[in-house]
Structure 1
């Protein structure tokens, strides 16, 4: 394990925002020194990503540790620190935080029954020019195979800040999934769902950064839209309480169908239909742009509109 050292992060263009960035990842880097300084239990663990973008005031440098490009070590270190009573705040890109160290998440955190706050960036294909190595659409589905995880998918930087601040004082396992494409304004920071609009022909659940496009896509359609910045635990109560027709469309910014099981459990005993929109399982083998990937997966406005109309109104 190496001491923290400032250096150039080639995965992110040099940029400094004085205060309160609207970009979720930049907001996290702005907050990180304050979060560490505010609680002697908190130790931030990095794996090179972001190491050149955190300004450290005197007195906390020994609690911001860069382990280098060693993601398994990153999570194992978090597990060890948690056993001593520390509260690890762990950060890197989504595929490096969940997919690569999956065994360490299972054993060093889960099996030892200790907690940490994991904050990812990059999302599903937020950096398409980096290619498949940096694509992370399977993260939430993978965490669903493990026990005891809270999963936040904020759609705005203000929501992300609130959720991270609330997560730090605990001892549980929390995953905060930061994204590059965001909603124009905060819509709620949970833990439950918010009702964005009501209708009678079915329910559309928009997760995190998909809310704005979903609202645009269903404009003029007689459907309820719920907003979920937190997906685990899944807010079954709000879904049931606002249900009209027992037909539900999920719009998720990661692997399609990830939360369909939770809808089925929420509506157990009710004959229902559910459609899960999200990133397809088939690998596209294309770079392109974020907008082009959205369109290819049916997650752009036109794609969401088409799917909702066919499923709920067809």
Structure 2
């Protein structure tokens, strides 16, 4: 199956052809996928070289002229390294852009810690006004990218991953999807974590919500689910563990509740390994999730 990133360049090239406001800003990474687009739109496909602070600064400048810049690189080079420019050039100047990352938390383990950014969404949470999409399938990534580009002048982050669920779901860039219903607790599966969560929850009496847009957080869907499934909530995120715990607490502030935030741990794994080994080491494989979910919600298997 093609990856989310495979889908990214063709879709964005089409948007460049269709919408004169769209511009693409690159820092070497991904430039080969836009060779033809650059020939057709040399003024709107810009490669700044290996200068990630300039990557974001140039995008902000384009936004000030009325363009809709789409900025692409690996997550640590797009969110962490130029964070000051995200805060000032975009945030302080009150202009928008679409950031599209690759690599996710550990998609490229052989490249080591330099190419890992499990804390990207948590870092953006320190800034105001960001919409954050975490698709779990290439079809969802395309739909959310198109929505992000068309979203006026908003600040949007689209987190692409090489990991994907087997099946796409309809996404609207706002609401969570109820995948299955139960009575003993709620599990919120974010993006590519859904397949592992469904395997882990097989036979357990829990509701599973699927989230591909985590900011804004769909508090309405969570409150609705807890009304029938109880107020034990497990978050399973393909980013830093606990990233959305505060959002759950805010959504359920008027209700007694418990939250377990599962995701990528803070401890650095100093062996490159494989994606599967990293997934297991962080307890995000189906077997580990089942054990942790069952222990937290104290739910017997359906029988």
> How far off its partner does 1:55 sit?
4.2
> How far off its partner does 1:102 sit?
0.3
Structure 1 residue ranges, 4+ long, deviating more than 4 angstroms after superposition: none
Alignment partner of 2:55: what SS? Answer: helix
Task: Output the CA distance in 2 between the equivalents of 1:56 and 1:165.
Answer: 20
Task: Output the CA distance in 2 between the equivalents of 1:106 and 1:126.
Answer: 26
- Structure 1: segments with no counterpart, 5+ residues: 1-20
Aligned: 1:195 with 2:178? yes
Q: TM-score, normalised by structure 2?
A: 0.95
Counterpart selection for 2:14 from 34, 37, 40: 34
Counterpart selection for 1:110 from 70, 79, 91: 91
Tell me the residue number matched to 2:206.
223
Tell me the residue number matched to 1:279.
264
CA RMSD of aligned residues (A): 1.0
Tell me the residue number matched to 1:25.
5
Quick check: 216-225 or 34-43, which moved more? 34-43
Task: Output the CA distance in 2 between the equivalents of 1:42 and 1:53.
Answer: 16
Quick check: 302-311 or 100-109, which moved more? 302-311
Deviation string 1:30-73 (CA, Å, 9 cap, x unpaired) is 22211111111111001111111224255313211111111000
Task: Output the CA distance in 1 between the equivalents of 2:198 and 2:160.
Answer: 21
Tell me the residue number matched to 2:44.
63
Quick check: 253-262 or 46-55, which moved more? 46-55
Quick check: 121-130 or 29-38, which moved more? 29-38
User: For residues 56-95 of structure 1, what are the structure 2 equivalents within 5 Å?
Assistant: 56-57=36-37, 58-95=39-76
User: For residues 2-13 of structure 1, what are the structure 2 equivalents within 5 Å?
Assistant: none
Quick check: 119-128 or 301-310, which moved more? 301-310
Tell me the residue number matched to 2:246.
261
Task: Output the CA distance in 1 between the equivalents of 2:171 and 2:35.
Answer: 27
Deviation string 1:226-274 (CA, Å, 9 cap, x unpaired) is 0000000000000001112110000000000000000000001100000
- Structure 2: segments with no counterpart, 5+ residues: none
Q: What is the aligned length? A: 294
Aligned: 1:204 with 2:184? no
Quick check: 31-40 or 259-268, which moved more? 31-40
Tell me the residue number matched to 1:310.
295
Alignment partner of 2:36: what SS? Answer: coil
Task: Output the CA distance in 2 between the equivalents of 1:154 and 1:188.
Answer: 11
Deviation string 1:116-141 (CA, Å, 9 cap, x unpaired) is 00000000000000000000101000
Tell me the residue number matched to 2:130.
149
Alignment partner of 1:189: what SS? Answer: coil
CA contact 1:33–1:55 (8 Å) conserved in 2: no
Greater helix share, structure number: 2
